[in-house]
A and B are shown apart, each in its own frame.
Chain A
Amino acid sequence: MKIVVAILIAAATTLAAPQTTTTDGADASSDHVIQNAELAQQGGGGGRGLRDGSGPHGAGGGKGRGAEATKHDASDSAAHANGEHANGEHANGEHANGEHAEAGHGAGEAPSPFLVIPFVVLLLMIATGPLFYHKFWDRHYPKVAIALGLITAGYYLVALRDDYNMHALMHSVKEYLSFIALLGSLFVASGGIMIKVDKKSTPLLNIAFLAIGSVIANVIGTTGASMLLIRPFIKINKGRIKPFHIVFFIFLVSNIGGALTPIGDPPLFLGFLRGVPFFWTLFHIWYIWIPTILVVLAIFYVFDSQDLKKHEGDDAEQHTGKIEFKGLKNVAFLAIILISVFLDPNVLNWVPSLAPLPFGIRELIMFAVMYFSYTMANEDALRANEFDFEPIKEVAFLFIGIFLTMTPALQLIGQMAKENSDQLNDTLLYWATGSLSAFLDNAPTYLNFLSAAVGRFNLDINLVSDVREFVTKDMFLQAISVAAVYFGAMTYIGNGPNFMVKSISERSGIRMPSFFGYMMKYSIPILLPIFIVVWFVFFK
């Protein structure tokens, strides 16, 4: 399996190299590929892009719609030269063909809609495998995910060997590596930290715990916060823990809580990687986040108060009120992960790019943290947390498949959005992103609809500068971000940490509701009405 992954990365790496050379020295590959300032000036000075139109900007695929260039000023060109694009002027998504396409590289051929089938099959299997054929799924899910991913990648490599499609595939590989580096490092580092709270369980204490967890989710991610806090939360409620305690933990700490920063939730991190400014979510979502959190906490309070009445007098144990903590070293590792999130050439100009490698300094640091935070971790903390790589292994394998198979879906949705751009609005994007985020995974879903919304303005999601231009328009992104994060709580498969929290709870002896039980008993009756109100107040 490792070999397959290595081959995949190697293939992606080799694919990147020719792209930077076959376009007369210009960058036709990636927004992360560094080209030197000299090249940028060559292009910018002439007032014309260096590269031909067949590059990644060609989101319009094979449909010629004339040439519309989005001009960028000299400072933009310089910024590109530093970290992203070497072109002085670049074409937007509509600009794939026309005169530029004739410069020697045929325009990108749009992938066939049938190429989305592996993506759909994989997502259906993720939803149904653990329920209906769990023995097969438990044993073979890595092979299934990689095989479906390779079908898609193979088609790109064999049948769609043009710059536009190669770039799209390469981008998926890069994003996967960034995604798994962040998730994996947070998972391992937080697994070496043990917090024990010896206090009597009360609804108010639980509310305080969940509220703090929701805030922390924005600092160490929903994955990190979930891993760090689920065990202390279970311990506090040990005498009367019920599935609803865990379900509300999933609602708040594993999902809704993390809506404020890109570190908070994987979809927002993917948006950040694509060019959404780091603090955009904080400044544009806090006034939706606070009332949502308060309402969910209020409902939890009602549930928990009712439950406490039934268990009045059960907890005869003496509580010291102490909070015990083990694993200080891993807190330092968490801090390193958080700092390294910013180490991206698109964020800080001085950060070197490792292009054409499909990862950067940030990912190297995160992978190093993953290794050291495990080997140097406090053994008692690991034992108390029953640390096991299985949950992150599951995410890593499934997401190889998801990231590869979703590539054509991303391209097609971007293209469809351009063709139907008049119909996009907040309501449509909120419900489309939300409903898909609930049943599929919210990270790729967010990207799909971000791609659609960006395409609405004839911009290309594959270009950081285009995404930043889209953000300034202040349209749609709020609805997509809120829906992707919030609706991730609707099912166990909506967000990575949901599964991990369920798994830890079950390993602790709590009988969690089934996939459909979770929806019918909890998420539909509790969350859906709240999400409808959110839509009505903020997006209607």
Chain B
Amino acid sequence: MATIKEALEQGKSGMYFDNRLMLPFVCDFIKVIADKYMITDFSPHQEGISIVEHKDFTDVYFNDFKRLREVISKYEHVKLLVVEKEDDIFDTSKHAKLAVYLEDRHRAKIETTDQDILFVE
């Protein structure tokens, strides 16, 4: 199972196609922020987002958007508050804040958010 730590250390990028964001790791989601939408409900009845977990990657579908690129501008990013599968989700020190930049050729660059980027947990 691919972990967040491995993906970041190896500099792995995700991919995006239309409203689908593919992350090169498997994790538990706490919060997702895309454009002005903050999503904290990842249950099956949530219409705005659906998450499909695979062995080594995760598909995130933003069902309210046609294309992510139209919503996330050049200087914006999708923000993820996530935790490794094996870590204690209740231990806030284990929470990872990630920024996903949508680049050319469907590449989704993933970085831990730097100090300049506002991301309140």
Contacts and interface: CB of A to CB of B under 8 A. Distances in A.
B76 A238 contact: no
Given A194-B116, A387-B73, A390-B35, 19 more contacts: A138-B64, A196-B115, A196-B116, A235-B118, A380-B116, A382-B75, A383-B117, A386-B118, A388-B75, A388-B76, A390-B73, A504-B118, A506-B36, A506-B38, A507-B35, A507-B76, A508-B33, A509-B31, A510-B120
Interface in B37-88: 38, 64, 73, 75-77, 79, 81
A433 interface: no
A234 interface: yes
Given A506-B38, A509-B38, A386 B119 contact: no
A436 B31 CA distance: 37
B120 A507 contact: no
Interface in A218-249: 231, 234-235, 238, 241
Interface residues of A, number: 28
A342 interface: no
A503 B35 CA distance: 9
A367 B15 CA distance: 37
A511 B73 contact: no
A2 interface: no
Contact of B118 (A231, A389, A511): A231
A388 B72 CA distance: 8
A231 B119 CA distance: 10
Interface of B: 31, 33, 35-36, 38, 64, 73, 75-77, 79, 81, 115-121
Contacts of B116: 194, 196, 380, 383-384
A234 B120 contact: yes
Interface in A468-520: 503-504, 506-511
Contacts, number: 64
Given A509-B119, A510-B120, A135 B64 contact: yes
A234 B75 contact: no
Interface of A: 135, 138, 194, 196, 231, 234-235, 238, 241, 379-380, 382-390, 503-504, 506-511
Given A387-B73, A389-B73, A234 B118 contact: yes
B103 to A, nearest CB: 13
A507 B75 contact: no
B98 to A, nearest CB: 12
B36 A507 contact: yes
Contact of A238 (B36, B75, B79, B120): B120
Given A506-B36, A509-B31, A509-B33, A383 B75 contact: yes
Nearest to B72: A388
Given A386-B75, A388-B73, A388-B75, A503 B36 contact: yes
B44 to A, nearest CB: 19
Q: Give the interface centre of A235, A503, A508, A511 by most chain B CB atoms within 10 Å.
A: A508
Contacts of B64: 135, 138
